[in-house]
Structure 1
Amino acid sequence: MLFGRLLTAMCTPFTPDGEIDWDAQGALIEHLIQTGTDTIVVSGTTAESPTLSKDEKLALFSFTVKQVAGRVKIIAGVGSNNTVETVQFTRLAAETGVDGVMGVVPYYNKPSQEGIYQHFVAIANATTLPVMLYNVPGRTSANMTAETMIRLSELKNVIAIKEASGNLSQITKVISSVPDDVVVYSGDDSLTLPILAAGGDGIVSVASHLVGLEMKEMIDAYLAGDVQKAAKLHQRYQPVFEGIFLTSSPSPLKYALAKKGLIHPTVRLPLVEMTEDEKQQVDRWFHELVQ
């Protein structure tokens, strides 16, 4: 399995004045590697990709490739709602040395299923790198149906799907219908265990910033047949899975990582840092489960 079981959708550390914090980027990469991450996804939703310029994204890809030095895999988030620009950017991303690319269903446009299909065909044709499909209708306002994902899985370099629709029936249909060499990841930490039980392959996680080793332990326990242990870990860390989405992501995550001394809590507008009441809610599960 090229990208492993535990992938982390990495946030982008910013300085207090909103610039990329390169020292913190390096420290956070090291933290993720040490806590079980198999693959780092750079410039996905959790990275605040809508507020990153193309030059910033390319710099993040290059920096991460250099910092990682082959120890884990790197997937570049290249998605946008402009197919021509996505194709051009995919080619630029490939030149930075990343191991794969991830495209998202075009947002705001609300394309038809044929439009979604042709968008991903264009991405796949623009590179020889492995391609991950990303379905997250809660953010894009367009759901990629199981039939479209299955159809796209027939493309040579589409080898992974990140499914964050929350629709277990749809996800199960995808898992049961794609070729054996196409892996299906949960895009929702809370559904990691249910999707594993349905035959899925792992998680593209946000919680792994905070409880990576515990996520890895849960996955390994399930795969080893210790379902009871996996279930107990799932139950124990559910407050983390839910708490990091208390308000607009990644504000709660960045607040928690700041409490660990890894990054500043800075987010870029239109996101804002959490209120005092929200911080107190994070504090409750942080002190019990993370610190």
Structure 2
Amino acid sequence: MTTAVTPTLSGVIPPVCTPLTPEGEVDAGSLARLVDHLVAGGVDALFVLGSSSEVAYLTDAQRKVVLDTVIGHVGGQVPVLAGVIDMTAPRVLAHARVAVAAGASGLVATAPFYTRTHPAEIRTHFRAIAAGGGVPLYAYDLPVSVHTKLSAELLLELAAEGVLAGVKDSSGDDGGMRQVILRREAPFSVLTGSEVTVDAALWMGADGVVPGLGNVDPHGYVNLVRSASRGDWEAARREQERLVRLFEIVHVGGSRMGGSSAGLGAFKAALHLRGIIDHPATAMPQTPLNDDEIGRIGKHLAAAGLL
């Protein structure tokens, strides 16, 4: 199916939600319980300070609380990747120094954003981060947020140079992801960011998944990946279809809030209903789910066998 290149990272790597208090501070106790929940679910690594962590809303001090809490609590049981997402390389490098000092196993960065850039400048951006980081660097392909699609050519060039260890592909461009899988020669992890097409991505040769919904049901994604790894594609499809139905929780908020508010609010409401975090609060100015919507999420959890 694909070239026999050994990836540097594989399996289920959930992008860890950041539990907050009603006052908007990081709830370290709930975060530690969430880490325990994910590790007990059999995940292969953790990714903190990404989109599902509400990184765009966190202050630098709050980012450090997340890093120290997760890395300290996990105690080396699994690797912890740290998002160092910011607009340009100097700002990213400042976050990288903090993350590496905290003990992060790897760094995750997007292309530059707000500023309008050329592919040559994006290459310089990733090269500078890799040179200054000292740990493996993973690209986060997220054109919906940064307005730049990372091409297969750019990713493979930086992989061949040893700049990038892998990519989290949240672009929705499965054809582009397949090109990376087919053409990679250096060790390079291809991780899908889609919750709902994991079985298809693994069939193409992807190495793993970074699913926001994995916060709610890590066991489900672990079962899916393990089924695929042993060639039981029917079992993988069934588990994927169950998770597709569960993923409907992200639409409960409807059109009265932004997509991020609806998705992150749904994940946190589900974690709260499951007794894992104390509060379903999301960062300001996101619109919170109401009691009726949270009740509907509870029905989805029950249907998925999670309550």
Q: Shorter-chain-normalised TM-score: which range?
A: over 0.9
Residue number among 147, 150, 162 corresponding to 2:153 in the alignment: 147
Q: Which has the higher contact order (CA 8 A, sep 6+)?
A: 2
Q: Residues 286 and 96 from structure 1, CA distance in 2 versus in 1: closer, same or farther, beyond 3 angstroms?
A: same
Distance verdict in 2 for CA 1:5–1:230, change over 3 Å:
same
Residues 16-56 of structure 1 deviation map (CA, whole Å, 9 limit, x = unaligned):
11111111111111111001221111111111111111122
Q: Secondary structure at the match of 2:26?
A: coil
Give the counterpart of 2:138 among 115, 132, 135: 132
Shift of residue 102 of structure 1? 0.5
Alpha-carbon distance between aligned partners in 2 of 1:187 and 1:116, rounded to the nearest angstrom: 21
1:90 to 93, 96, 118: 96
1:213 to 2:219 alignment: yes
Q: Match of 2:301, as an amino acid?
A: F
Question: 1:259: which partner in 2?
Answer: 273
Q: Is contact 2:71-2:103 (8 Å) kept?
A: yes
Q: Give aligned-pair identity as a percent.
A: 24
1:166 aligns to what SS in structure 2? coil
Separation (CA, whole Å) in 1 of partners of 2:152 and 2:50: 22
Whole-Å separation in 2 of the counterparts to 1:175 and 1:42: 25
Q: Is structure 2 residue 74 aligned with structure 1 residue 68?
A: yes
Match for residue 192 of structure 1 among 178, 188, 198: 198
Q: Which residue of 1 aligns with 2:110?
A: 104
1:283 aligns with 2:289: no
Q: Which amino acid aligns with 2:169?
A: E
SS of the counterpart of 1:41?
strand
How far apart are 1:236 and its partner, in Å?
A: 1.6
What secondary structure, in the 3-state scheme, does the structure 2 residue paired with 1:134 have? strand
What are the ranges of 5 or more consecutive residues in structure 2 without an aligned counterpart? 1-6, 253-258
Please give the TM-score of this superposition, normalised by the length of structure 2. 0.90
Q: How many angstroms apart in 2 are the aligned matches of 1:110 and 1:178?
A: 28
CA distance in 2, matches of 1:178, 1:81: 28
2: CA distance between counterparts of 1:274 and 1:105?
31
Equivalent in the alignment of 1:116? 122
Tell me the secondary structure at the aligned position of residue 165 of structure 2: strand
Structure 2 distance, partners of 1:143, 1:189, is 20
Deviation at 1:111, TM superposition (A): 2.2
Instruction: Quote the offset at 1:9 in angstroms.
Output: 0.1
Match status 1:30 vs 2:45? no
- CA displacement, residues 173-214 of structure 1 (integer Å, 9 cap, x when unaligned): 011122351110001111211111111001011111122112
Q: Give 1:273 shift.
A: 1.1
Q: Which amino acid aligns with 1:225?
A: G
Q: 2:255 is matched with which residue?
A: none
Work out whether residues 10 and 189 of structure 2, in 8 Å CA contact, stay in contact via their aligned partners in 1.
no
2: distance between equivalents of 1:166 and 1:91?
A: 31
Q: Relative to 1, partners in 2 of residues 1:42 and 1:145: Cα closer, same or farther, differing over 3 Å?
A: same
Distance 1:281 1:148 in 2: 43
* Counterpart check, 1:235 vs 2:250: no
Does the 8 Å CA contact 1:128/1:157 hold for their aligned counterparts? no
Looking at structure 2, the residues matched to 112 and 224 of structure 1 have their Cα atoms a distance apart, in angstroms, of 42
Give the distance between the partners of 1:93 and 1:3, measured in 2 at CA: 18
Q: CA deviation at 1:91?
A: 1.9
Mapped to 1, the partners of 2:185 and 2:141 lie a distance apart of: 18
Deviation at 1:76, TM superposition (A): 0.7
Q: CA deviation at 1:61?
A: 1.2
Q: Could you tell me how far apart the structure 1 residues matched to 2:53 and 2:251 are?
A: 14
Do the aligned partners of 1:77 and 1:102 also contact (CA within 8 Å) in 2?
yes
TM-score (norm 1): 0.94
Farther off after superposition, 57-66 or 130-139: 57-66
Partner of 1:272: 287
